Amino acid sequence: MEQAFQVDLRGVVDLLSRHLYSSPRVYLRELLQNAVDAITAADGVPGTVRIETLGGGGLRVHDDGIGLTEEEVHRLLATIGRSSKRDELGFARHDFLGQFGIGLLSGFLVADEIEVVTRSARADAPEAAVRWTGYADGRYRVEPGEREAPGTTVTLRPRPGSAELLDPEIVAELARTYGSLLPVELTVDGAPVTGEGPPWRAAHADPARRRRALDAYCRDLFGFEPFDVIDLDVPEAGLTGVAFVLPQPVSPTARGAHRVYLKRMLLAENVEGLLPEWAFFVRCVVDAGELRPTASREALYEDELLESARQALGERLRQWLVRLSETDPARLRGFLRLHQLGVKAMALHDDDMLRIVHRWLEFETSAGPMTLAEFRRRHSDARFVTSVEEFRRLSAVAGAQGVGLVNGGYVHDTEIIERLAAIDPDAALRPLDPAELTTHFGVLDPAAELALRPFLAAAQRAVERLGCEVVIRDFDPASLPALYLTSRAAQHRAELTEAREMADDLWSDVLGALNGAVAADRPQLVLNHRNPLARRATALTEEGLIELAVQGLYGQALLYGQHPLRPADTAALNRSFLGLLEWAMHGDSSGEGK
C-alpha cells in the first residue's frame, strides 16, 4: 500500500537554518527575490517593492508583480518541493532570481506565521484576491483576501527571539545590503534604497572622474584606497564588474573573498572561487546574469561556466599587467614590490608573465637587488642557488671571484629561473655547484705550495675522520679565513651515510650499495692564504697545535656557512676550543703561544 511522505515543517525550517543558510538574516533576501521575480513575470509594470515595518516587530513586503490565483497558491505555496507547474507561470525563465517554495519557507527562520495576500494580473484569472496563511507547525489555510491591484503582500509576524531581525534599522540595513543594485524601485518605510545601478556602469564626464568615483566606492565597500581599478567583462557569463588592486601586500594563502551579485541581487559579500588562486591581490565586485548559485544562494555553483568565467577573469588581470608593463613601467614596479608572489605564480605557467618577471621583477643577487635581465647582461655566466642559506654563505665569496649569483631560494624563484629557457635560451641561468668555486680561486706558487706540504699532511690527518679534504687557496674576501665547500655529489653521499647509520641491517646494506655507487667526492675545507689568521695557522709546526687550529677553522667554516653540525663536528669544535684556550693560557716550551 503506497502512502505519501509526511513532512515536518519545523524540521525542514530547522534544516534550512542550521545547514543551508549561514544566517537567518537571508530571510529578507529571499523575500526580495520573490518580489522581483513576480515583477519580472509581469511585463510592463512599473516595478516597485515596498517594505513596511510594523509595530510589535512585524514586517510587510509589497510588490506590484504578476500575483497568484488560488489554484497557483495551493500548488506553489502549500506543496514543498513541487516545481513542475512553474513553467506554466513563466517562473522558469532564465532571468528570474529564485523560486517561490524555498524562498517563502525562509520566512519561517524569523516568523511563526506568514501571511500572503495576492491578486493575479493574468487576463484569464479571477479578479478576487486570495489570502494564504502558513504556520511553522505545518498548518495553512486559504481564504478570500482583500487587494485592489494585482501583486502580492507578504506579512511576517516574528517568532520569540527574532524580533530584532525585523527591527526597522536592521531591515533597512539588510535591504541596502541585498537590494541596492536591483533594477526596481525599492523603499523601506518610504525611504528609497535602490540607486542608479552598478557604480561601474554609471556615466561620467571623463575617465578621471570615473576613477575617483570607483575609488570612493572601494573605500566605502572594502575600506581601502585601491592601487588600481580593473574593469571586468565576461559576456558568456553575463558578467560585468571591477577588480580593486590591494594597496598593501597580502599573503598568497589568504582566501580571496569577493562581492558577487546575480542579476543585481547580492549573492554574498565573501564569495570564494571566482578568480584563479594566484589572483589573491584583488578584491572584486561583479554582477553576473548566467552563473548559477548553490542551493543556499550564498555561493557559486562549481560548473563549466564558472570555470570558464574564472579563466576569463584571470586573463583580464594578466592583460592589465602586460598593458602596465608597456605604458607605465614605474607603476608596474610599484605593483611588483607589493604583489610579487601572485605575479610569480602566474609566471610559472604564462610566458607573457615570465617576460614581465624577467624584465621588471627584482631578485636578490650577489650584486644587490636586480632584475634577472639586467643581471644577465652584467654576468654572462650567471649562476643560481636553490636555497636562501646557500646564497647567504656563498654570495660574498662568489661575487668576489666575479661569479654572479642569484638567490633562487624564495617562493617560486627557482622554478621561474629554470623556466627562462622557455622564452629565451640566452636568458637561462645555470645552477651553481659550490665545489666549482675552487676553480675561481687563486693557486699558490709552486715554492709556497711545496713549503706547505708538511702542514697540509698534518691538517689532513686532523680532519680525516670528519670526511673532509683540506686545500689552500688564495681568494677574496681576505677577511674570511676558511670556507667549507661541498659538491652536490658529496652532499648526496653524506646524506646516504647518515641514513645508513640510522637504518636497520637490511636497509643499511641497501643504502651501503647505493653509497658505493656514488663517486668518492668529499667536501673541502678551503684555507684562505690571503687571510692573516689562516696564514699564521699554516706556519705552525707542532702536530697537536696544527690539529687544534685546523679543527677550529673547520668548525668556524661550518658555522659561517650555516651548515648542520653532526655530533662528530660538535665534538671536534669543542675539543679545538678547549685545547686552544688551554694553549693560550699556558703556552708551550717552544714559545709559540707567547
SS (HEC) of 559-578 = HHCCCCCCHHHHHHHHHHHH
| Exposed/middle/buried for residue 35 (C-beta within 10 Å: 0-12, 13-18, 19+) | buried
Q: Please, are residues 12 and 135 in contact by the beta-carbon 8 Å criterion?
A: no
**Which pTM value belongs to this model?**
0.75
Largest CA distance in the chain: 124
Residue 153 in 3-state DSSP? strand
Kind of pairing, strands 282-288 and 265-271? unpaired
- CA 574 – CA 581 distance, rounded (Å): 11
Among candidates 180, 15, 40, 14, which has minimal Cα distance to 96? 40
Distance CA 137, CA 9 (A): 6
Distance, CA of 594 to CA of 583 (rounded, Å): 10
Q: Would you give per-residue pLDDT tens digits along the chain (594 residues)?
A: 455 556 666 676 666 655 667 788 889 998 999 899 899 888 777 789 999 999 878 899 999 999 998 888 888 776 655 543 344 444 443 444 444 445 677 888 888 899 999 999 887 777 789 999 988 887 889 999 999 889 999 999 888 888 889 999 999 999 999 999 999 999 999 999 988 899 999 999 999 999 999 999 999 999 999 999 999 999 999 999 999 999 998 877 777 789 999 999 999 999 999 998 888 899 999 999 999 998 778 889 999 999 999 999 999 999 999 899 899 999 999 999 899 988 898 899 888 889 999 999 999 999 999 999 999 999 988 899 999 988 988 898 988 888 999 999 999 999 999 999 888 888 889 999 888 888 889 999 999 999 999 999 999 999 999 999 999 999 999 999 999 998 766 554 555 455 555 555 555 554 454 444 444 578 999 999 999 999 999 999 999 999 999 999 999 999 988 888 999 999 999 999 999 888 888 765 444 444
Q: Which helix (H) or strand (E) holds 405?
A: strand 405-407
Angle (CA) 370 371 375, round 5°: 75
List b or e across 372-411, with b for residues whose CB sees 16 or more CB atoms inside 10 angstroms.
bbebbeebeebbbbbeeebbbbbbebbbbbebbbbbbbbe
CA distance 478 to 326: 45
- Terminal C-alpha separation, the chain: 112
How many other CB atoms sit within 10 Å of the CB of residue 219? 13
Nearest to 159 by CA among 27, 338, 293: 27
Residues β-bridged to residue 134 = 114, 140
Q: How far apart are CA 66 and CA 38, in angstroms?
A: 5
Beta-carbon contacts of 338 under 8 Å, excluding residues fewer than 6 positions away, are 227, 246, 247, 248, 249, 281
C-alpha–C-alpha distance, residues 369 and 65, integer Å: 65
Whether the bond between 477 and the residue before it is cis, its omega within 30 degrees of 0, is: yes
Which element (helix H / strand E) includes 506? helix 505-517
Sheet holding 239-245, edge to edge: 228-234, 239-245, 282-288, 258-262, 265-271
Write the single-letter amino acid at 459: A
Instruction: Give CA–CA dist 229/215, Å, rounded.
Output: 8
Dihedral pair phi/psi, residue 228, rounded to 5°: -160, 165
Sheet containing 383-385, strands listed edge to edge, beginning at the edge strand earlier in sequence: 405-407, 383-385, 430-431
Is residue 329 a contact partner of residue 371, using CB atoms and an 8 Å limit? no
Grid cell in block for residue 352: 607573457
Residue 19 in grid coordinates: 545547514
Instruction: Say what the pLDDT of residue 424 is.
Output: 87
Contact predicate 547/553, CB 8 Å: no
CB-based burial of residue 453 (10 Å sphere; 0-12 exposed, 13-18 middle, 19+ buried)? exposed
Determine the pLDDT at residue 518: 41
Could you tell me which residues come within 8 angstroms of residue 144 by beta carbon, excluding any fewer than 6 positions away?
A: 128, 129, 130, 131
Please report, to the nearest 10 degrees, the dihedral formed by the alpha carbons of residues 73, 76, 79, 85 taken in order: 120
Query: What's the pLDDT score for residue 263?
Result: 92
User: Is residue 541 within a helix (H) or strand (E), and if so which, with residue range?
Assistant: none
Q: In whole angstroms, what separates CA 443 from the centre of its chain? A: 51
Report the DSSP beta bridge partners of residue 383. 405, 430
Contact between residue 550 and residue 581 where contact means Cβ atoms under 8 Å apart? no
Length of the chain in terms of residues written: 594
d(CA 435, CA 87): 77
CB neighbour list of residue 173: distance below 8 Å, 6 or more residues apart:
none
